[in-house]
Each structure stands twice: as C-alpha cells, then as structure tokens.
Amino acid sequence: MTDILREVGMIARALDSISNIEFKELDLTKGQYLYLVRICENPGIIQEKLAEMIKVDRTTAARAIQKLEISGFVEKKDDEKNKKIKRLFSTEKGKQAYPFLKREGDYSNSVALAGLSEEESETLFHLLHRVRKNIEIEWEFVKKGNKRDY
Amino acid sequence: MTDILREVGMIARALDSISNIEFKELDLTKGQYLYLVRICENPGIIQEKLAEMIKVDRTTAARAIQKLEISGFVEKKDDEKNKKIKRLFSTEKGKQAYPFLKREGDYSNSVALAGLSEEESETLFHLLHRVRKNIEIEWEFVKKGNKRDY
DNA sequence: ATTTTTTTGTTGCATTTACAACAATATTAT
DNA sequence: ATAATATTGTTGTAAATGCAACAAAAAAAT
C-alpha cells in the first residue's frame, strides 16, 4: 500500500506543473500561486503560518512572499501590537489575479474528479483530510530536527 | 471541493520534505530518492519514461540521474539495438540503499494511514488511482504546449 | 525581575528545477 | 527511398528551494 503515497506524489507534481505553466500568463513564477491564493483567502496571515499551511520551508516562503511584494501582488503591514510580525494582504493587483487562480483550480479539480460520483469525491476528501492531519504532525516533528525510528 | 487538490499538495510536500531530510543520511540530495527507488524497481528503464512516471520535467530527471550516476548509485548502459536510448540500472551501492528507502516509505505510509481501516485505505488507493489517471492525461496535454480552456 | 526558550523574520550559500534551444537517432508518412 | 515528425538526450541560463546561521522581539520559566 505504499503506492498511496506515490499516487499522491504523482498527482501533486502534475498539478503543480500545470499550474506553474498556466500562471506564467499572470507573471507568476514557479510556486507563487500557492502563496497568493492563500493570502487572498486569509488576509492578515503571517508568513510563518503561511509556510506551515503550505508545508514548505520558512525561508522558501519568505522569499516567495518577498517576490510577490516586489511584483506588487501582496503587501506586508506591521502589526500594531506585535513589533515582530508582518501581516500579509493582497493588493488590488493580487485581488484581480485571484479569480483566475480560483477558476484554474476549480477546473483542475473537475478534471481530477471526472468519473467519480459526488459521494466518491466526498469520501476521497474526508480520507485525504485524515491522512493530511496524520502527516502534518510527522512533518513538524521531523522539521524540528527530531529523528523517526523505523 | 477544490480542497481535495490542496490536501494532496500539502500531503505531498510534507512527505517529500520528510524524505529529503531523512535521506541525507545516505548522501542523497533533494529529490534523488524518487529516481533511485524507481530505477531499482524497474531496471532498464530509460530516463524519458522515468520522468513521465514521476511527473517531472525531462531535463530535471536528466540532471538528477546524472548526479546519481556520478555518486555511484546508478549506471547507464547503452542499448544494443537502439543507439539513442540509455538504460538505467542500480549499482551495488544503489541496491544497498534500497531497503532503507523502502522501509522509510513503508513507515511514512503506515503513519499516513493511521486510524484508517484496511477497507478505507483500499478505497483511498483506488480513488487516488483514478484521479491520477485523469490528471496525467491533463499533464501531458499541458506539458506538450497545449492550452486548456476554462 | 531576569533568564531561558520560542517565535518570527532575514541573508549567504549550494543545490535542484525547469524552460529554451539544440543535436542525433528512430519512427512515420508520403 | 526520402522527407517530415517524434523521441531521447544534452547544455545554458534563470529561478526557486532549503539548510545554516544570525538577529530581534515575545512568551514562558525560574
């Protein structure tokens, strides 16, 4: 049953590749769409949480967001109470890009689920959700430098 | 239901991240494990097919395999009939690494599926398999330069 | 209160990733 | 048989990715 993880990997890489190709049209470089959609949907989120949400290294997120700021899709705002954090918001340009990102995602989704019934899609979602919950604990464990035994 | 694809992305990135950290112990750099396991399991496979299997750009696969060859995990052999292709095989060193790769994968799998019944795991696998089939067609379409309409 | 630890953010560096563009063989169409 | 196309492999270049190491603020422990 190790093949479950391989299927997940194949699907994820293929989808990511498709998105990266398609979003060049918006002048988004590799991976940037991941951050932009989530900032649009979670205004005020901080970079650290965004990295955790996406499951990507903190420093990778930091640089992707820097680029998005430079290219004007996103802006960072200082928090009033906490001098350390910077809250992220989509700019007008970012908001304009969002519908396209959403539409592409919805389309890929419909293609991915073609031939599955409504109920099967539901089942898949719930099972994946549980798997994700399991794996994110593991990810945080290993990311923090802990060693797994097997 | 777009969230299905996001769950897949999160799971895949987290797992990949874990594997990359753990396989540094074997002196495998980022991503190399993907190629090495598959070459071990499919001796004689050519690079082009391997890239398709993994769902990664041809040139990315080319360089990853180059590195694996230099570090002695893999060797390329000329085909007798076809002068163009090079068949890939794991070396002794590669074969020795394989059990560790396998064990890590199995362990991640068991963690991922924790709390799911045997039947639920089966269901998940079959649904993912169908999704993968759907998406790989789309990937090849877009990779070849075709434009999707949505 | 003050020390220790955690959280958040950044930069230097080495590496992978992937698009473009090219070359050579193989396959298919005429 | 020859021409056109597809397959397979490579290299140049630009960019993302992620580890290590640092800094500063915040939170927790003493």
> A interface mutation test: which of B4, B38, B123, B148 has the most A CBs within 10 A?
B4
* β-sheet bridge partners, residue A86: A78
Token pair 């990949």 is found at: B16
Could you tell me which residue, B2 or B84, shows the higher pLDDT?
Answer: B84
Whether residues B33 and B98 fall in one domain: yes
pLDDT (tens digit, 9 = 90+) per residue, A44-91? 999 999 999 999 999 999 999 999 999 999 999 999 999 999 999 999
Q: Is B115 helix (H, G, I), strand (E, B) or coil?
A: coil
Q: Are residues B106 and B138 in the same domain?
A: no
Residues B96 and B53 in one domain: yes
Rounded to an integer, what distance in angstroms lies between the CA atom of residue A125 and that of residue A81? Answer: 38
Indicate if B126 and B107 belong to the same structural domain.
Answer: no
Q: What is the pLDDT of residues A2-55, one digit of tens each?
A: 689 999 999 999 999 999 999 999 999 999 999 999 999 999 999 999 999 999
Query: Do A147 and A85 belong to one domain?
Result: no
**Contact between residue A73 and residue A112 where contact means Cβ atoms under 8 Å apart:** no
**Can you tell me whether residue A44 is helix, strand or coil?**
coil
**Count of structural domains within chain B:** 2
Same domain, B14 and B83: yes
Q: Is B145 left (phi over 0), alpha (psi -120 to 50) or beta?
A: left
Whether CB of B20 is under 7 Å from strand D: the answer is: yes
- Reading the block at residue B35, the tokens are 């190629």
CATH number of domain containing B105 = 1.10.10.10
* Domain interval for residue A148: 116-150
Q: Are residues B106 and B148 in the same domain?
A: no
Do B96 and B141 reside in the same domain of the chain?
no
User: Residue B91: beta bridge partners?
Assistant: none
Do B41 and B108 share a structural domain?
yes
**Cβ–Cβ pairs < 8 A, chains A and B:** 203
Q: How confident is the model at residue B72 (pLDDT cuts 50, 70, 90)?
A: very high
- A36 CA: distance to closest CA in chain B (Å): 14
Chain B residues in contact with A124 by the CB 8 A cut-off are 4, 124, 127-128, 131
Residues A80 and A125 in one domain: no
- Going by pLDDT thresholds of 50, 70 and 90, the confidence category of residue B74 is very high
Please report how many Cα atoms fall inside a 13 Å half-sphere around the Cα of residue B16, on the Cβ side.
Answer: 24
Identify whether residues B131 and B82 lie together within a single domain: no
Provide the pLDDT for residue B76.
97
Domain match, A84 and A20 both:
yes
pTM: 0.95
Tallying the residues shown for chain B, one arrives at 150
